[in-house]
């Protein structure tokens, strides 16, 4: 995305970037219980609560959670960029309408 592109194109690209980042973040969030079950299973035969406690204390779990949070942060950041560009378009349209009204007077 460059400043030379039309604002509508920038809005489209920002929206697509947000949609992709949101898809990734949602996939990680949705896979959280699957990852917990997989890591618990890999520990072998032990009570579920003990396995969950051990998994949640592991580096693998910490990395997964950090990645999930980082992905959500990136999606939120891209959503803000999309809204910022959309607001710029609305402001520009309003300014154009005001200029047309003044020109009629």
Residue ranges of domains in the chain: 8-100
Q: What is the Cα–Cα distance from 63 to 71, expressed in whole angstroms?
A: 12
At residue 79, φ and ψ (nearest 5 deg) are -65, -40
Q: What is the Cα–Cα distance from 15 to 12, expressed in whole angstroms?
A: 5
* Count of other CB atoms within 10 angstroms of residue 89: 14
pLDDT at 2 over 90: no
Residue 105 pLDDT grade (very low, low, confident, very high; cuts 50, 70, 90): confident
Residue 51 pLDDT grade (very low, low, confident, very high; cuts 50, 70, 90): very high
Q: What does the pLDDT average to over 53-63?
A: 96
């Amino acid at each position: 995305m460059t400043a030379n592109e039309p604002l509508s194109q920038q809005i489209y690209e920002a929206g697509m970037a947000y949609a992709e980042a949101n898809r990734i973040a949602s996939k990680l969030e949705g896979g959280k219980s699957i990852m917990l079950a997989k890591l618990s299973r890999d520990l072998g035969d032990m009570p579920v609560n003990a396995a969950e406690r051990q998994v949640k204390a592991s580096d693998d779990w910490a990395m997964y959670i950090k990645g999930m949070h980082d992905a959500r942060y990136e999606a939120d950041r891209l959503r803000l960029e999309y809204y910022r560009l959309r607001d710029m378009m609305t402001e520009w349209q309003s300014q154009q309408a005001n200029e047309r009204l003044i020109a009629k007077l």
